[in-house]
Chains A and B, each alone.
Chain A
C-alpha cells in the first residue's frame, strides 16, 4: 500500500489515472465534484452533522426560541462561507503570508491591551468602530501556521535553536492573551503551537525534559494567575466552597449530566436545564444539556463524530505533500479535539472551568468562524495537492 502511495506521489499521471478509475465507480462522481470545488465530502458531512445537531440542542436549551436559532443560523452561514473561501486559496498563499498575519495579530494583541474594550471583566475585544473582534481568534490559526512554516523551512527534525525560536513565537502571543486575562484561549493557542513542534519530530528526550520543566513551572504559573482563575482551580477540587460562583456551575452540571443516565430524558425534557438550574446552558455548558436529554448513548455518538472528524484531519495531514502542510493540518485536526476535550473535561468536572465553548455546538459565532476557517485550510491542503509536483 505504501509503495503504491509513493508511486502515486512520484507520478502525477498515475495519480490522475487513479482518479479516472474512481470516476468510473458510481457514487464517487459527487466526490470528485466536491474535490473540484476544493471541498472535502467527509469533513463537510461531519461538520454539517454537528451544526444540525447544534440547532436541535439549542432549540431545547434556549427555551424553544426560534429567534435564537435564526441568529445562530446566520452565524453558521457566515462561518461556512469563510470555510469555502479559504478552501479555494492555495496552501502556498497561506505560507507566503504566514509571517505577516502573525505580525499583524501580535500588533493587534498589543493594541487590545492598550485600548481594547472590556467585556465580562476581561479586555479581549478590539473596537474598530464598525465592528468588534477578538484578535486572539486570528492567533488561533496564525500561531500554528507560522510555526509550521518556520520549522518546515529547514529539514526536520528541527535543530535546538530553531525549536527554541518556535517556542518563543508561541509564548509571546500566549502570554499577551493570558494577560487580557483569557487563560483558556491562551492555553489553547499555546497547545496548537506546541502540537506543531511535537509533530515536527523533536526528540523524545527534549519533550520529556520540557515536561519536567513545565511541572516545575506550575507553582510560578499559580503565582501569575488572577484571583478569579485561582478560585476556579480551587473550586474544581472543592466545588462547595463557592456555591454562588464557579462551584455552582460544576455542581449543577454534574447533576444534569448524572441525571441523564444511559438514554437521557429525551429532547426538550431536561429538567435541570429548563428550570434554569444550569448556567450558560446554551454556551459553555451545552454539553450538560446534551447529557441530560440524550444520555450516554447520545454523548458517545457525539464524541464519535468528533473523533471521526479529527481522524479525517489526521489522514489529510498524513497525505499532505509538503512538511509545512502536514504540520499545519495535523495541528488543526488535533487542536479541534483538544477544544472538545477541554470543554467536556470542564463540564464533567475533570478540568478547571476556563470558559471554552463546545466546538460547533455552543451558541456563539466567534469560535465557530475560527474553527471552520481551520477546516477551510485543511480542505485547501487536501484538494490542492494533486495539482502540484512534489
Chain B
C-alpha cells in the first residue's frame, strides 16, 4: 500500500466507500425503528388492556402530604404558636359535574352564606381545575357529621382535616411572633411550589415570616389509586413529610406580660434586650391585635377596622415607630464629648436656664426655667440639664456628633431577625442637603444635642444602643430566636450569637464616667428617676426622656380632646441593670405619656423587678 499522503484522490473509490456506509447506516436505522415499532406494538396492542384500565377506571394519583409547621416557644417553654386540628369542606372543580348546582345544594345543606360563596368563587380564580379549593373553613362537629351522611351526593367534594395555626397567647406576641395567612399571588411566585403543595398558609410577619424556611418543613407524598369519582381507593406508597423545626425564642412571657400590662391603655412600645447576647427578652408594641384573626383570612370588615383605627394597632412601633429620643440621647452625647476630648468628667458649665449661641440673642431654654447653676457631667445627667448639653453639642459640632453616633447604630437598622425594621434618622449636614436642600443651622446642632429636632429613633434602636453602652462597646445584633429543634433529635440547636462589633473607645474611664452619671439619674439625690431607685440589692443605670410632639402627621379632623391628647409629650426611659456587668437593657416609649420620669421610668423598674425576682436559667425543654 502506498503512503496515504502520496495517494491520489480516487473519487470513484471514495464514492463507493461512502455509499456503502450510507446504505449500512440506512439498514441499521431500519433495524432500530423495527425495535421501536415492536415496543409500540407491545405497549399498544399486547398490553393495551392493562394500560387502558389503568387510564380509565383507576388512576394513579399523587397526593402531597403537607408537613406540620414547627412550633414556637418562649424561653421558658411556653407555647406561643401551635397547630390545632380543624375541618374544612373542599372541592375539586374538575371532578364536579355541575359546579353551580353542587354549590347550591351544599349551601342548602350546610347553610353557606353569600359571603362564603363569594369567597369560594374568588379562590376558584386562583386555582387550577384539578386543585382542591376550600368551600368553607372551620366546620363544626355537627356540620362534619351532616356532610358525611350526604357525601354520596357530592362527588369531588370532601371534608378535609387539617392543622391550622393558633396563637394561644392571643395579642400578647402579635408584633414579635407575627402570624401566618393564606398564600397570596405574589408569594406563589417566590416559594418552592413543589414544597408548598398542600400547604395553605405562609408566615406573613414577624418570626413566622423571617423563619418560614425552618418552620415550614418538607412536603411528603403518597401514591394512591383513585376511582372515577376521584376518591382514594387504596394507598400504594407513602413518603411521610418532614415537620418544620420548632423555634425557641429569647422572649420571656413574664417580661412580655409585665411590659404589656405596665403600658396599660397607653400606646407605646417596650423592648428588653439580653445585654450578654442580644437576645430580645420582650418586644411589646401597643395597641396590638389578635393574630388568630389572620390565620384563616381576616374578614374585610375586621381588617378595615384594624387598618383605619387612629391608634394603628397593625403598626409595629417597636421596629418602625419613629420617636425623638429626647433626653435619653444625652448619655451618648456625653460619651462623644469625653471621647473627642471636648469635656472631661470634671468640666463645669453654668446653667442660667437658657443658652444662647455666640453673637445671637435667641434663647434656647433649659427645661428648668430658673436654671441649674454650675453643673458637671454627673449632675447635668442626673438633673437632665439641657444647657450643659447645648453647650457640649455646640462644642462637638454636628459632623463629629453624627459620626460618633453612627457607631451606636443611630440611623441604621439593628439587624434584628424580624422583617420590616426601620432605620430611624440620625441627621447630618449631608442628609439635610440631600433631603431638604437646605444648609445646616448651628441651632439645629443644639437641639440635636438633647435628642430633639430631626432625630428619630425606633424603640429597638434605643434598647440596642443602651445595651451597647451598658456593655461598654460590645455590640450584639438583637435576635429573637434562641434555638431550633427538629422533630427527631432530642437536643436543641442553639443559634449562634451575632457579635457585630466592638466599638473603638480610647479610655474605659469614658464609659465609667457616663455609666456613673446614669446611675446618678436613678440613685442620686437629685436624679430625675430617683423614685424608682429604692429597695434594690444592686444599682442600675437609666436615663429619663421627654420628647416634644411638634405636630401630628394625621389631618386635623379629630375632635379637640383627641387632638389634645395626641399633642402630649412622649415619655421615654432607657436603662440597663445592674449598672456593673449588666444583664438586661430596657427601652420604654410611652406615646403622649407626659414625662419620662413619671410614666416611663416606673415601667422599666417593674420589668427589672420581674426579671431579677424570678429564677431564669436555661429555658425548659419539652
Residues of A within 8 A of B (CB): 6, 154-157, 159, 195, 198-201, 240, 243-244, 248, 251, 254-262, 271-272, 275-277, 291, 295-296, 299-300, 303, 307, 310-311, 314, 317-318, 323, 326-327, 330, 334, 337, 341, 344-345, 348, 350, 390
The answer to whether A348 and B62 touch across the interface, beta carbons within 8 angstroms, is: no
Minimum CB distance partner of B36 in chain A: A344
Cα distance A195–B28 when bound, in Å? 12
Other than A244-B221, A259-B52, A310-B29, give 5 A-B pairs with Cβ distance below 8 A. A156-B14, A199-B21, A240-B237, A243-B223, A296-B45
Chain B residue numbers with a CB within 8 Å of A243 are 62, 221, 223, 237
Task: With a 10 A CB-CB cut-off, give which of A155, A157, A261, A341 has the most chain B CB atoms.
Answer: A155
The answer to whether A334 and B9 touch across the interface, beta carbons within 8 angstroms, is: no
Q: Can you name 9 A-B pairs with beta carbons within 8 Å?
A: A155-B14, A198-B25, A254-B43, A258-B48, A272-B55, A295-B44, A296-B44, A314-B25, A348-B40
The answer to whether B4 and A199 touch across the interface, beta carbons within 8 angstroms, is: no
Task: With a 10 A CB-CB cut-off, give which of A201, A258, A262 has the most chain B CB atoms.
Answer: A258
Query: Do A307 and B30 contact each other (CB < 8 Å), given the known contacts A155-B8, A276-B130, A350-B39?
Result: yes
The answer to whether B54 and A255 touch across the interface, beta carbons within 8 angstroms, is: yes
Minimum CB distance partner of A300 in chain B: B37
The answer to whether A195 and B55 touch across the interface, beta carbons within 8 angstroms, is: no
Cα distance A78–B334 when bound, in Å? 75
Chain B residue numbers with a CB within 8 Å of A257 are 40, 43-44, 51
Cα distance A199–B4 when bound, in Å? 18
Q: How many residues on chain B are close to A (CB under 8 Å)?
A: 48
Cα distance A318–B26 when bound, in Å? 12
Cα distance A345–B29 when bound, in Å? 13
CB distance from A238 to the nearest CB of B (A): 13
The answer to whether A155 and B4 touch across the interface, beta carbons within 8 angstroms, is: yes
Chain B residue numbers with a CB within 8 Å of A244 are 62, 194, 221
The answer to whether B21 and A258 touch across the interface, beta carbons within 8 angstroms, is: no
Chain B residue numbers with a CB within 8 Å of A295 are 44
The answer to whether A154 and B4 touch across the interface, beta carbons within 8 angstroms, is: yes
CB distance from A247 to the nearest CB of B (A): 10
CB distance from B279 to the nearest CB of A (A): 39
Residue B301 at the chain A interface, CB threshold 8 Å: no
The answer to whether B36 and A341 touch across the interface, beta carbons within 8 angstroms, is: yes
Chain A residue numbers with a CB within 8 Å of B43 are 254, 257-258, 291, 348
The answer to whether B17 and A345 touch across the interface, beta carbons within 8 angstroms, is: no
Minimum CB distance partner of A161 in chain B: B4
The answer to whether A330 and B4 touch across the interface, beta carbons within 8 angstroms, is: no
Cα distance A260–B51 when bound, in Å? 9
Instruction: Tell me the interface secondary structure of chain A in the complex.
Output: helix
CB distance from B2 to the nearest CB of A (A): 10
Chain A residue numbers with a CB within 8 Å of B45 are 261-262, 296
Chain A residue numbers with a CB within 8 Å of B9 are 155
Cα distance A243–B238 when bound, in Å? 10
Chain B residue numbers with a CB within 8 Å of A261 are 44-45, 48, 52
Cα distance A156–B12 when bound, in Å? 11
B residues 19-45 touching A (CB-CB < 8 Å) = 19, 21-23, 25-26, 29-30, 32-33, 35-37, 39-41, 43-45
Minimum CB distance partner of B6 in chain A: A155
Cα distance A259–B53 when bound, in Å? 8
Minimum CB distance partner of B3 in chain A: A159
Cα distance A256–B51 when bound, in Å? 8
Residue B11 at the chain A interface, CB threshold 8 Å: yes
Chain B residue numbers with a CB within 8 Å of A345 are 36
CB distance from A297 to the nearest CB of B (A): 10
Residue B10 at the chain A interface, CB threshold 8 Å: yes
For B22, give its contact among A251, A258, A317 (CB under 8 Å): A317
**Nearest 6 CB-CB pairs, A to B?**
A258-B51, A259-B55, A201-B17, A258-B43, A199-B21, A326-B18
Cα distance A303–B33 when bound, in Å? 8
Chain A residue numbers with a CB within 8 Å of B8 are 155
Chain A residue numbers with a CB within 8 Å of B19 are 318, 326
Chain A residue numbers with a CB within 8 Å of B21 are 198-201, 330
Chain B residue numbers with a CB within 8 Å of A155 are 4, 7-10, 14
The answer to whether B52 and A248 touch across the interface, beta carbons within 8 angstroms, is: no
The answer to whether A159 and B4 touch across the interface, beta carbons within 8 angstroms, is: yes
Residue B15 at the chain A interface, CB threshold 8 Å: yes
Residue B59 at the chain A interface, CB threshold 8 Å: yes
Cα distance A272–B56 when bound, in Å? 9
For B62, give its contact among A248, A317, A337, A390 (CB under 8 Å): A248
Cα distance A327–B22 when bound, in Å? 9
The answer to whether B26 and A311 touch across the interface, beta carbons within 8 angstroms, is: yes
Chain A residue numbers with a CB within 8 Å of B54 are 255, 258-259
Chain A residue numbers with a CB within 8 Å of B55 are 255-256, 258-259, 271-272
Chain B residue numbers with a CB within 8 Å of A195 are 25
Residue B5 at the chain A interface, CB threshold 8 Å: yes
CB distance from A261 to the nearest CB of B (A): 5
Task: With a 10 A CB-CB cut-off, give which of A261, A291, A307 has the most chain B CB atoms.
Answer: A261
Residue B47 at the chain A interface, CB threshold 8 Å: yes
Residue B109 at the chain A interface, CB threshold 8 Å: no
Chain B residue numbers with a CB within 8 Å of A262 are 44-45, 48
Residue B436 at the chain A interface, CB threshold 8 Å: no
Cα distance A255–B48 when bound, in Å? 9
Contact with A along B471-491 (1 / 0, CB 8 A): 000000000000000000000
Cα distance A254–B50 when bound, in Å? 11
Chain A residue numbers with a CB within 8 Å of B237 are 240, 243
Chain A residue numbers with a CB within 8 Å of B44 are 257-258, 260-262, 291, 295-296, 299
The answer to whether B52 and A258 touch across the interface, beta carbons within 8 angstroms, is: yes
Residue B145 at the chain A interface, CB threshold 8 Å: no
Residue B495 at the chain A interface, CB threshold 8 Å: no
The answer to whether A334 and B29 touch across the interface, beta carbons within 8 angstroms, is: yes
Minimum CB distance partner of B55 in chain A: A259
Residue B60 at the chain A interface, CB threshold 8 Å: yes
Chain B residue numbers with a CB within 8 Å of A198 are 21, 25
Chain B residue numbers with a CB within 8 Å of A326 are 15, 18-19, 22
Chain B residue numbers with a CB within 8 Å of A199 are 18, 21-22, 25
Cα distance A157–B130 when bound, in Å? 60
The answer to whether B29 and A201 touch across the interface, beta carbons within 8 angstroms, is: no
Cα distance A256–B56 when bound, in Å? 11
The answer to whether B18 and A156 touch across the interface, beta carbons within 8 angstroms, is: yes
Chain A residue numbers with a CB within 8 Å of B52 are 258-259, 261
Task: With a 10 A CB-CB cut-off, give which of A198, A199, A251 has the most chain B CB atoms.
Answer: A199
Minimum CB distance partner of A325 in chain B: B18
B residues 544-602 touching A (CB-CB < 8 Å) = none
The answer to whether A318 and B22 touch across the interface, beta carbons within 8 angstroms, is: yes
Chain A residue numbers with a CB within 8 Å of B223 are 243
Cα distance A156–B17 when bound, in Å? 8
The answer to whether A255 and B51 touch across the interface, beta carbons within 8 angstroms, is: yes
The answer to whether B18 and A327 touch across the interface, beta carbons within 8 angstroms, is: yes
Cα distance A240–B23 when bound, in Å? 41
Cα distance A348–B35 when bound, in Å? 11
Cα distance A377–B60 when bound, in Å? 47
CB distance from A203 to the nearest CB of B (A): 11
Chain B residue numbers with a CB within 8 Å of A390 are 11
The answer to whether A299 and B40 touch across the interface, beta carbons within 8 angstroms, is: yes
Task: With a 10 A CB-CB cut-off, give which of B4, B10, B62 has the most chain A CB atoms.
Answer: B4
For B5, give its contact among A154, A276, A303, A314 (CB under 8 Å): A154
